[in-house]
Amino acid sequence: MTGAETDRQYAAMLEEAARFIRSRDHFLVVSHVDPDGDAAGSTCAVGCILEQCGKRFTLINDGEIPRKFSHLHGYDRVLDLKRERPQAKFRHIISVDCADFARFGAVSELFDEEYELLNIDHHSTNDRFGTVNVVKPDAAATAEILYDLIRTMGLPWTKENAECVYTGLLTDTGGFRYSNTTPKVMRIASELLEHGVEGAKLAQALLETVSYAHILLLKRALATLAFTEDRRIAWMVVEQRDLAAAGAKMSELDGLVNYPRNIEGVDIGILFKEVRENEYKISLRSGKHADVSAVAQRLGGGGHVRAAGVTVAGTREEVIARVLEAARAELT
Ligand SMILES: [Mn+2]
């Protein structure tokens, strides 16, 4: 397929997404469990779109959106399913940044039997579960697709919607540092700054500031840092008792996996997080060469080439052995 054809197809997908929104009302907007900046920013960006179109909508997540995203317009409107369960079922769903159905968590229980779903995502492993799918694996963030959708729909830019999109771009590119920081990303960021986004303020709040609990957790996690003999794979382990000792929530583990990944000579960095007894959530990151989405897929998970994840059952030793075996296989 030529570039022009792909562009035409993408433009057509955006038009279809615009029609999906314009021809319906009363939406449920969902993103993935353990929401990151792209999930939070994209959820609120869709909220802005629906608000500008005069639609009724409910924003929800199976879990709490971390307080550091409280600057987002609509943040206070996002329901936490764990605390507040809407009684009604929803027929019109918009999902953002979710690669598959399982990523919704229990939110999918709110879908009507005859639901119609607009799936907006940038994960290459997205299995196109929507009625309408706008999946663009080369987009740096789901927020980048929402920038294109806002333009396609001809909606006005405000500081509010610009901040939502910028938040997703900033966090999914690691502060405009990762390889997904394309010229397009920088052009969008530049335009959003023109619309009133305070870049330094958001970078400070979202990337620089760490909570007290996070730094205590980092201290404990670094004590577990280990390497394979060739030092190409490095990992850390965080167990429930570490979270309890640091007074930290699961969401405060964000970014810890970068410590093993960033070590000179390391190709794959791994963080093992104990979710409950004999169950670990694994974050995989690669610096340059390795495809960690392939490692995750070998274990039943998914993600991107440079960032992927999977949940594995077993004891600490069993899980580490299985994941290291899959990671080693990727490096040979
Ligand atoms: Mn994303």
Instruction: Identify the three-state secondary structure at position 116.
Output: strand
CB 38 within 8 A of CB 98: no
Q: Provide the residue-wise pLDDT of the chain in tens; the chain has 332 residues.
A: 578 889 999 999 999 999 999 999 999 999 999 899 999 999 999 999 999 999 999 999 999 999 999 999 999 999 999 999 999 999 999 999 999 999 999 999 999 999 999 999 999 889 999 999 999 999 999 999 999 999 999 999 999 999 999 999 999 999 999 889 999 999 999 999 999 999 999 999 999 998 899 999 999 999 999 999 999 999 999 999 999 999 998 878 888 999 999 999 999 999 999 999 999 999 999 987 899 999 999 999 998 899 999 999 999 999 999 999 999 999 98
Residue in 45, 76, 55, 35 with CA at minimum distance from that of residue 197: 45
Residue in 294, 300, 297 with CA at minimum distance from that of residue 331: 294
Interacting residues of 177 by C-beta distance below 8 A, sequence separation 6+: none
Long-range contact list for 32-35, CB < 8 A, 24+ apart? Answer: 32/97, 32/98, 32/99, 32/103, 32/104, 32/105, 33/61, 33/62, 33/63, 33/103, 33/104, 33/105, 34/63, 34/250, 34/251, 35/61, 35/63, 35/65, 35/66, 35/69
- How far does the centroid of ligand 1 lie from the alpha carbon of residue 143, in Å? 7
Rounded Cα–Cα distance for residues 37 and 165 (Å):
10
Instruction: Identify the three-state secondary structure at position 103.
Output: helix
Q: What is the distance in angstroms between the CA of the first residue and the CA of the last residue of the chain? A: 31
Instruction: Retrieve residue 310's tokens.
Output: 């999977």
- How far does the centroid of ligand 1 lie from the alpha carbon of residue 235, in Å? 23
- How far does the centroid of ligand 1 lie from the alpha carbon of residue 171, in Å? 9
- How far does the centroid of ligand 1 lie from the alpha carbon of residue 97, in Å? 5
- How far does the centroid of ligand 1 lie from the alpha carbon of residue 141, in Å? 5
Instruction: Retrieve residue 116's tokens.
Output: 């119609």
Rounded Cα–Cα distance for residues 136 and 13 (Å):
10
220 to 68, 126, 305, 325: CA distances (angstroms): 23, 34, 28, 25
Rounded Cα–Cα distance for residues 148 and 136 (Å):
11
